[in-house]
Amino acid sequence: MKYFYSSIAISLVGVGAVWYFAGIAGAYICALLAILEISLSFDNAVVNAKVLGGMDEVWRRRFIVWGIPIAVFGMRFAFPIIIVSVAAGISLLETLNLAINDIAAYHEHLEAHKMEIYTFGGAFLLMVALEFFFAGRSIRWIPLIESNKVMLALSRAKNASVFVAILLGVFIVYFVGQISCAIAYFAAILAHMSLGILSEWLGGDESSANESAARTGLAGFLYLETLDASFSFDGVIGAFAMSNNVFIIMIGLGIGAFFVRALTLYMVEKGTLSEFRFLEHGAHYAILALAIIMFINLFSEVGEIITGTLSFALIVLAFLHSVLLNKKEKNA
C-alpha cells in the first residue's frame, strides 16, 4: 500500500482543488477522468514494469521523478497543444490562449486532426504488440493464436513485425485515403525502429525493440515515454467527451498517470510479472486490442468505456489464468 500513498495524496489535492474552483460537478468529472486513464493505461503499467525491470536503479528513479511531470504536463497538456499548433498552423501561444479562453475552438482543432493522432498511436502500439508476439517466446498464453503455423513461421523470420505492420498500413492508408494519415502511420513505425537502433548504439543487442530498450537507461526511458504518449492519445481525445475544461482534463488524467506510475513501481519491486507468467501476455493482447480500436476509430467511434473495459478484462483473465496454473503446479 505504501507505493500508492503519494498517488492518493495527489488525488485528494487535485480533486479538492477542482472542487474548490469548479464545484462538486467538476470534482466528479475529474475523478471519472482519473478512473478512465487508469483503465486505459493498466496494460501500459505492465509493459512499463517489464522494461523498467531491466534498468538500473538510477534510471528507475529518473523514470519516476522525471516521468511524472512529462506524463502529466507534457503528454496530457503540452503535447495536445503542440499537435493543435502544428496541425492548425497557429503559434503555440495562440493555441495556449485557445486552450484557456476558447475551449470550443481548441477542441474543434484537436478533433479535426484526431485521425492522424489515432493513426500514429495505433501504429506505434501495433509495433509494440507485434514485437512481443513474434519474439519466439517459450511461454505462450493462447496456443491457438501464438503457436499456429503462421505465427511460428513469422517468429523465425527477421523483421516480421515491420513487414506485417507495413502490409497492414498499406490497407489502412488505402481505405482512409489521406496522405496525412499515411505520414503519421509510417512515422510511428520509424519512431519505434529508431528506439531499437538507439538502444543498439547505447549497448543493446539485436533483439526486439522492447527487450533491447530495457537494457539501456536512456533508450529505455525514451521508449517508455513514447509508449506513454501513444497510450495517452486515446484518453486525451476521449476526455473532451466528459469536460471542455482543459485544466480539469489535465488534473484528472494526471492523477491517473500518477497511479499508473505507482502500479508500475509496485510490479517491479514485487516481481509481479515473474510470479504471474501470463500477465505480460495479457497486457500485450490489450495493447493489440487498443491499436485495433484506434484504427477502427478512423471509420467509426468506439467508446472509451468499451476500450477500457476490454483492456482491463484481458489483463484480469491473464492474471486469473496465471493464479490457477500456479495453484495446479503447487498441488502437483
Q: Tens of pLDDT along 230-270? A: 666 666 666 665 676 778 888 888 888 888 888 888 888 87
Instruction: Give me the chain's average pLDDT, please.
Output: 79
- Which is it for the CA torsion 119, 101, 248, 267, positive or negative? positive
- By CB neighbour count within 10 A (0-12 exposed, 13-18 middle, 19+ buried), where does 332 fall? exposed
Q: Which residue has the cell 516521468?
A: 67
Nearest to 272 by CA among 61, 34, 47, 65: 47
Listed range (46-50, 279-283, 322-326) with the worst mean pLDDT: 46-50
Report the distance separating Cα 302 and Cα 284, nearest Å: 20
Query: Torsion angle of alpha carbons 291, 292, 293, 297, nearest 10°?
Result: 100
> Each residue of 68-112: pLDDT tens digit?
777 767 766 777 777 677 766 788 888 888 877 887 787 777 777
Domain residue ranges in the chain:
2-331
Query: What are the φ and ψ backbone dihedral angles of 283, each rounded to 5 degrees?
Result: -65, -40
Q: How confident is the model at residue 182 (pLDDT cuts 50, 70, 90)?
A: very high
**pTM of this structure:** 0.73
CA 158 to chain centre: 26
